Amino acid sequence: MMKKYSVVINFVLFQLAWFAVFFLKEESLPVVLVTVALMFALSPAKTRDVKFVLVGLSVGMTIEVVAITVGVIDYGPAVIPVWLLLLWLALLFSFRESLNKLFHLPLKYRAPIVWLCTPGSYFAGSKVEILSTLEPLWIFWVVYGAIWFVGFECLRWLDAQSHIRRNGEVLS
């Protein structure tokens, strides 16, 4: 029964984490921590998912550091805020459940979806002042979308590795 709804539950949990950060900012930490704990508890392949999340976190932080270094994102005094690190944990747990289909889409669909859609959540974050983005907006969108697409492809490659891949899954 739980497996039947795992994609929806995982998606809702990630949205809970994201909106907690969006509305509560630094005060969101307890909500995001509980969300990540629930995602871990509900994970059908805990050992392999934790390996993916921990190694994937280095990819996520690299995406953020590159974006900060080239000046498309600014988080203010904290180079990498704690809420961002926790939000990345939640996102990485969601990749194998609610975002799994995106990993398997052909490149001609995957590239524009990741490149064009991902910057939107960061732009929304800039509107509530949890971060700032490069102006003009179109340059931010193009540059950050490219950085994120490269990172996404690294995560996709990581997901396909035999020591991390969930049993029975093969990335095409």
pLDDT tens digits, residue range 87-135?
999 999 988 777 777 778 899 998 998 888 889 889 988 998 889 999 9
Mean pLDDT to the nearest integer, 131-141: 93
Compute the distance between CA of residue 50 and CA of residue 94 in angstroms, rounded to an integer. Answer: 12
What is the model's pTM?
0.88
Q: Tell me the sheet residues that pair with 74.
A: 132
Mean pLDDT to the nearest integer, 32-43: 93
Residue 171 lies in a domain: no
* Rounded alpha-carbon distances, angstroms, from residue 93 to 1, 42, 72, 73: 20, 10, 26, 23
Residue 168 lies in a domain: no
Residue 149 lies in a domain: yes
**How does the average pLDDT of the chain come out, rounded?**
88
Residue 164 lies in a domain: no
16-27, pLDDT tens digit by residue? 999 999 899 889
> Among candidates 21, 3, 169, 161, which has minimal Cα distance to 89?
21
Domain count along the chain? 1
Which alpha helices (DSSP H) does the chain contain, by range?
2-24, 29-42, 46-69, 82-95, 100-104, 107-127, 137-159
**46-69 and 29-42 helices cross at what angle (nearest 10)?**
140
Which of the two residues, 64 and 98, has the higher pLDDT score? 64
Indicate whether 74 pLDDT > 80.
yes
Residue 165 lies in a domain: no
Q: Which residues, 6 or more positions from 97, have their beta carbon under 8 angstroms from its beta carbon?
A: 6, 7, 10, 11
**46-69 and 137-159 helices cross at what angle (nearest 10)?**
150
Residue 169 lies in a domain: no
Q: Which domain holds residue 103?
A: 2-159
> Among candidates 167, 168, 172, which has minimal Cα distance to 46?
167
Indicate whether 2 pLDDT > 70.
no
